[in-house]
């Protein structure tokens, strides 16, 4: 039997209902903050991510799914959404001398070691803002995240960590100082950090190795290299968050793994999911638009790891209604040989009232059909037997308490549309 590709997962009906619930909350909050949705292609030219994310990052070096098309062009499945979003808005003339607040949702692809909460096809919902240089919009994005966590009931299960990287010059100066410090100690670093010392040394700061962390104790510190303008930006952001009542921790080792970040970086982290604890991350990337061929444009954004957010939501609230419910309110049984046409008509009338209706298929006697109705989890069964068809009525059975009544078609539709199961 053919199985799913490693790292790619199926989302089955019960999981999909929770998924739909969580994503609908995120979309509703985005809409409340007046962010507009964009749809981005899965495939982009590989150069977009090499220039945008950074050729020396793990993503570009080791994790992208890349192929050559029939014209010989190198294409890659998108490993993240920010570079694609910048490319789309720039290409369509939506950035220069304009402000934009947008969001997107969909699958991303990275060739990583699969584990719970980490897949090779994973899903993100990202928000990106362009044209605003001040810390006010950084605060708004963080507030937007907090609102999502609050509405999903997980706010008490996450914490916010913040840092500032300074401008591009400060980041480069710190990078050089860190390399100078670590080069003589390279043989004592863990293998991943030894490799990153030549490619992406800032990632060494979040190394998991205890030995590497001990070596970093005496290393140059990033705050010592941050310019005064960036310090002021960060102080203002922290002040705004305090005024908004959003708790945070300043983590001077937080750098994020992508080359395009400057100034603010942040992560929302949970302790409830083991090693895969980051459910949302983002920051400023004021130089990315220019790096990808546009005019200098201030920008900031974040991406929510939807797979991990779903895991957290299930951990915190495994039995909530609204997503763990059954897919039908009404199950229509049609044991009479000539009742199918009437059944289709009733089903459509009920669906027009926003009821979820399952119509029995495959024939069988009433006992068999009622057994299926009970198994479906529906609250109501509509029965269309010979008598009901002849009298143009329907029998309605409450599958919770067993009560049953026979009504004409209009009265039956009205009763079901106003029932407690509706909505």
- Ordered by start, the domain boundaries in the chain are 13-167+227-316, 330-417
DSSP assignment of 332-401 equals EE--STT-HHHHHHHHHHHHTTT--EEE--S---HHHHHHHHHHHT-SEEEE--HHHHHHTEEEEEETTT
Percent of the chain topping pLDDT 90: 67
Q: Determine which of 124-128, 173-177, 294-298 has the lowest per-residue pLDDT on average.
A: 173-177
Put simply, whether the predicted model's pTM sits higher than 0.95 gets the answer: no
**Gap between the Cα atoms of 40 and 155, Å rounded:** 29
Q: What is the model's pLDDT at position 168?
A: 75
Of 219 and 126, the structure prediction assigns the larger pLDDT to 126
| Strand ranges across the sheet with 249-250 | 36-37, 100-109, 121-130, 299-305, 278-284, 262-269, 159-164, 249-250
- CB-based contacts of 243: which residues, under 8 Å, 6+ apart? none
What are the backbone dihedrals phi and psi of residue 194, each rounded to the nearest 5 degrees, phi first?
A: -65, -40
Range ranked top by mean pLDDT from 270-279, 310-319, 364-373: 364-373
Query: Residue 258 gets which letter from DSSP?
Result: -
Residue 189: predicted pLDDT:
86
Q: Are 269 and 181 in contact (CB under 8 A)?
A: no
Class of domain 13-167+227-316: alpha beta
Distance (Å, whole) CA 295 – CA 289: 7
pLDDT of 52 reads 83
Q: Of 199 and 154, which is predicted with more confidence? A: 154
The neighbour count for residue 421, using CB atoms within 10 Å, is: 17
Average pLDDT value for residue range 408-419: 92
The pLDDT tens digits of the residues spanning 300-343 come to 999 999 999 999 999 998 875 455 466 789 999 999 888 999 99
State residue 147's pLDDT score.
98
Q: What is the pLDDT of residues 385-404, one digit of tens each?
A: 999 999 999 999 999 999 99
Q: Which CATH number fits domain 330-417: 3.30.1240.10, 3.90.230.10, 3.40.50.800, 3.20.20.70?
A: 3.40.50.800
pLDDT average, residue stretch 86-96: 96
Angle between helices 228-243 and 135-152 (to 10 degrees): 40
């Amino acid at each position: 039997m053919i199985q799913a590709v490693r790292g790619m997962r199926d989302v089955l009906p019960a999981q999909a209902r929770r998924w739909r619930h969580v994503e609908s909350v995120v979309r509703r909050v985005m809409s409340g903050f007046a962010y507009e949705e964009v749809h981005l292609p899965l495939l982009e030219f590989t150069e977009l991510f090499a220039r945008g994310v950074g050729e020396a990052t793990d993503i570009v070096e080791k994790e992208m799914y890349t192929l050559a098309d029939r014209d010989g062009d190198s294409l890659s499945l998108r490993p993240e959404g920010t570079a694609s979003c910048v490319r789309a808005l720039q290409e369509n003339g939506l950035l220069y001398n304009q402000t934009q607040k947008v969001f997107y949702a969909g699958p991303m692809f990275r060739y990583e070691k699969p584990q719970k909460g980490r897949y090779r096809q994973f899903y993100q919902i990202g928000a990106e803002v362009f044209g605003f240089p001040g810390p006010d919009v950084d605060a708004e994005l963080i507030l937007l995240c907090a609102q999502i966590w609050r509405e999903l009931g997980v706010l008490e299960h996450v914490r916010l960590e913040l840092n500032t990287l300074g401008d591009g010059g400060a980041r480069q100066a710190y990078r050089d100082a860190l390399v100078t410090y670590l080069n003589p100690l390279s043989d004592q670093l863990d293998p991943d950090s030894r490799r990153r010392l030549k490619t992406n040394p800032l990632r060494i700061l979040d190394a998991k190795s205890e030995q590497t962390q001990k070596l970093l104790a005496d290393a140059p510190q990033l705050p010592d290299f941050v310019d005064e303008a960036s310090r002021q930006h960060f102080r203002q952001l922290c002040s705004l968050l305090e005024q908004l009542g959003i708790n945070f921790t300043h983590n001077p080792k937080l750098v994020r793994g992508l080359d395009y970040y400057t100034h603010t970086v942040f992560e929302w982290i949970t302790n409830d999911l083991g090693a895969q604890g980051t459910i949302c991350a983002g920051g400023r990337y004021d130089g990315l638009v220019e790096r990808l061929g546009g005019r200098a444009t201030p920008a900031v954004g974040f991406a929510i790891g939807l797979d991990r957010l779903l895991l957290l939501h299930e951990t915190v609230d495994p039995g909530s209604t609204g997503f763990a419910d059954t897919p039908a309110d009404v199950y229509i049984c049609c044991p009479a040989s000539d009742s199918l046409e009437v059944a289709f008509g009733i089903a459509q009338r009920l669906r027009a009232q926003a009821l979820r209706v399952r119509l029995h298929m495959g024939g069988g006697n009433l006992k068999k059909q009622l057994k299926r109705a009970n198994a479906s989890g529906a609250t109501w069964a509509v029965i269309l037997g010979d008598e009901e068809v002849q009298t143009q009525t329907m029998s309605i059975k409450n599958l919770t308490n067993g009560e049953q009544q026979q009504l004409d078609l209009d009265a039956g539709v009205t009763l079901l549309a106003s029932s407690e199961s509706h909505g």
